[in-house]
Each structure stands twice: as structure tokens, then as C-alpha cells.
């Protein structure tokens, strides 16, 4: 628990110091996105770019793919037992949510 709090505190500090942006996904949920990702997204897809362009861009990045996997693991307790096809559906859904709400 203490280690998780330290990690969260470090992420918040990075967001406050300009290396990350905290972007709301809903009224009670936010994601901390590295500023470099936001900059690259705007360069590659335009501002704002289409949803499909944003999803394609996010799918190619380790950061966003790892974020999507983490979110799937949080929301799907059966993650480790799920078939790969179902895992990919969840990852794609989370990437789409990120593309629609964060960028």
C-alpha cells in the first residue's frame, strides 16, 4: 500500500511540474498522460484528429497499450483466464475511451 501511494504521489508531482497532464475521463476519473504523448498525438493526428486516427496512434504506443491493459485488469478480475481475443477487445475498448475522452 505504501509503495502504491509513493507511486501515485510521484505521478501527481510530475503532473504538477509539467511533465504530465492530468486529463479527466469522467466526473470522478482522470488519467495522467505524459506531456510528450500529448504533443506527439497532436503532431501525428492533428488537433484534434479523428477518433480512428487517435486510436491507431495510441495502439502503437507502449504507454497507452500498457495503460489499457492495466485498466482492463482493474475492471476484469478474470483477466488472466480470458482468451486473447477477449483481452484484445477490452484493450481496444479502453484505447477508444482514451482517444475519445482524453484527446
Q: Are 59 and 52 contacting, i.e. CB atoms less than 8 angstroms apart?
A: no
pLDDT of 33: 84
Rounded to an integer, the average pLDDT of 79-100 is 94
**20-45 pLDDT per residue, tens:** 777 777 777 778 888 888 888 878 77
Total domains in the fold of the chain: 1
CA dihedral 79, 84, 87, 91 (to 10 degrees): 140
Whether residue 13 has pLDDT greater than 70:
no
Q: Which residues contact 59 (CB under 8 A, 6 or more apart)?
A: 65, 92, 95
For residue 99 the three cell numbers come to: 482517444
Expressed as residue numbers, the domain containing 39 is 2-102
For residue 92 the three cell numbers come to: 481496444
pLDDT of 55: 92
Amino acid at each position: 500500500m505504501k509503495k502504491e501511494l509513493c507511486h501515485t504521489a510521484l505521478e501527481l508531482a510530475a503532473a504538477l511540474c509539467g511533465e504530465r497532464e492530468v486529463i479527466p475521463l469522467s466526473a470522478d476519473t482522470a488519467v495522467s498522460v505524459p506531456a510528450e504523448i500529448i504533443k506527439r498525438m497532436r503532431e501525428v493526428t492533428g488537433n484534434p484528429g479523428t477518433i480512428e486516427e487517435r486510436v491507431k496512434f495510441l495502439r502503437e504506443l507502449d504507454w497507452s497499450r500498457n495503460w489499457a491493459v492495466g485498466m482492463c485488469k482493474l475492471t476484469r478480475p478474470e483477466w488472466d483466464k480470458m482468451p486473447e481475443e477477449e483481452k484484445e477487445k477490452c484493450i481496444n475498448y479502453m484505447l477508444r475511451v482514451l482517444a475519445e475522452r482524453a484527446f
